[in-house]
Amino acid sequence: MKELSSSYGRVFIGSKDECFRTAVFLAEGQRGRNPAKRHFTWALTGGSTPQEWYEWCVAKDALSPVTVATAHWFVSDERYVRPDSHESNFGNADRLLLKPLGIAADRKHPWSTNIAPGLAAVEFGRMNAPWFGRDRTFDVCFLGMGDDGHTASLFPGSPLLRDDGKQFFAAIDVPGKGWRLTVTPSGLKAAGLIVVMALGAGKAGALHRVLAGESDPMRTPSQVLKNCRDKVVWLVDEAAAAKFLQG
Ligand code: 6PG
């Protein structure tokens, strides 16, 4: 893959298959980096790209037996819907990846969507603290990026981009989309490794705006990753990178 550096993290450009394989390679590497830590935590994310990646992982038997046997699973953000909804990020991860891999229930950590959203965000941090460890959120946090430049559930204009009160997780009522539960900018800073997958021509404009545009995270939320660029890796295919590479 081609590798470039940017103010928002390292950028790897290659085919979709290379992006999928590198996502596994990076996460597996992160698991091996800190053997003294008691638990390895991996947050997946929502949208169509991860769903394709889940099916690829299962078909290729891509995850190591150690990861399958020991990792604790989360999603970086969640829609406030029932887990059996096809809108549920954890629900989709469970149906397409965790169930086919036979992951035990005690290593699956969905957000609660049957209690008030504000409470669900507090509970997510409190209940999962034993897995995360001190001042840490996920060891590996996967993210996607929308064509409006959003990432996780940090949408343009989100008050969490201005001030998240140093909380790692929050509930936010997104105009036109309803309640979301999400890792915050502070929570991203407290992650071990952040992998952003952006695939397809539909992402070309947003990727160009993030990496080469004026710095304005309120309008282009993925730019919050500048604050933790040392641990951010972008995996983008040629179609998504096209506009950025043209300059
Ligand atoms: C969600 C995600 C969101 C997603 C992007 C990219 O719940 O939708 O948290 O941030 O990752 O919108 O989605 P695609 O992979 O569908 O482009």
Residue at 49 is within a domain:
yes
Q: Which amino acid is at 193?
A: L
The Å distance, Cα 1 to ligand 1 centre, comes to 23
How many residues can be counted in the chain?
247
So what's the pLDDT on residue 145?
98
Gap between the Cα atoms of 31 and 212, Å rounded: 32
Task: Ligand 1, residue 150: give the atom nearest the CA.
Answer: 10
So what's the pLDDT on residue 22?
98
Residue pLDDT, tens place only, 24-60: 999 999 998 877 778 999 999 999 999 999 999 999 9
Residue at 87 is within a domain:
yes
Residue pLDDT, tens place only, 189-233: 999 999 999 999 999 999 999 999 999 999 999 999 999 999 999
Residue at 221 is within a domain:
yes
Give the residues surrounding ligand 1 with Cβ less than 6 Å away: 45-49, 77, 89, 144-146, 150-153
So what's the pLDDT on residue 206?
98
Check if the beta carbon of residue 76 is closer than 8 Å to that of residue 36: no
Residue 247 pLDDT class (50, 70, 90 cuts): confident
Interacting residues of 188 by C-beta distance below 8 A, sequence separation 6+: 137, 141, 152, 194, 224, 225, 227, 228
Q: Which of 49, 179, 220 to mutate to test the pocket of ligand 1 (most atoms within 8 A of CB)?
A: 49
So what's the pLDDT on residue 71?
97
Q: Which amino acid is at 64?
A: S
Residue pLDDT, tens place only, 160-181: 999 999 999 999 999 999 999 9
219: containing domain: 2-199+209-245
Domains held by the chain: number: 1
Residue at 30 is within a domain:
yes
Residues linked to residue 13 through DSSP beta bridges, in sequence order: 2, 236
Gap between the Cα atoms of 53 and 180, Å rounded: 23
Residue 178: give its domain's CATH number: 3.40.50.1360
Residue pLDDT, tens place only, 82-113: 999 999 999 999 999 999 999 999 999 999 99
Residue at 193 is within a domain:
yes
Q: Which of 53, 56, 75, 77 to mutate to test the pocket of ligand 1 (most atoms within 8 A of CB)?
A: 77
Structure-token pair, residue 132: 């995360």
What angle, rounded to 10 degrees, do the helices at 204-212 and 238-246 form?
Answer: 50
Whether the model clears a pTM of 0.95, i.e. scores above it, the answer is yes
Check if the beta carbon of residue 231 is closer than 8 Å to that of residue 27: no
Residue at 204 is within a domain:
no
Residue at 232 is within a domain:
yes
Residue at 8 is within a domain:
yes
So what's the pLDDT on residue 63?
98
